[in-house]
């Protein structure tokens, strides 16, 4: 699947109340992808979760350690700004 399609899917998933376990694993795996655009989308999707909704939400803090500045910006955004950050 092209990276652009996954970015769009991850953006839509941010608004879903719950994720299937397989989708959660896919998003978590993409935080290590070579493309910073895809990593940023994965971290933004993860940041849209709460720990009560999804244990994968704890991975959002790892965005601060990414080598790409745009990806690191996800970790420093307040929750209300994450939707805008995802749409970049």
Domain ranges of the chain: 3-86
- Model pTM? 0.77
- Using the predicted structure, report yes or no on whether residue 88 has a pLDDT greater than 50: no
Show Cβ contacts of residue 45 under 8 Å, excluding neighbours closer than 6 positions. 10, 11, 13, 14, 27, 86
- To 10 degrees, what angle do helices 3-13 and 21-30 make? 120
Query: Is the separation of the CB atoms in 66 and 33 below 8 Å?
Result: no
Q: Using one digit for the tens of pLDDT, what is the confidence trace for 11-22?
A: 999 999 989 999
Q: Which two tokens stand for residue 51?
A: 């720990």
């Amino acid at each position: 699947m092209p990276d652009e399609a996954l970015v769009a899917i991850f953006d839509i998933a941010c608004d879903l109340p719950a994720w299937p376990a397989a989708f959660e694993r896919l998003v978590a795996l993409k935080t290590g992808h070579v493309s910073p655009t895809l990593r940023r989308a994965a971290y933004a999707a993860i940041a849209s979760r709460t720990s009560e909704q999804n244990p994968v939400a704890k991975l959002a803090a790892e965005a601060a350690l990414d080598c790409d500045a745009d990806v690191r910006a996800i970790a420093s955004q307040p929750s209300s700004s994450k939707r805008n950050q995802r749409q970049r």
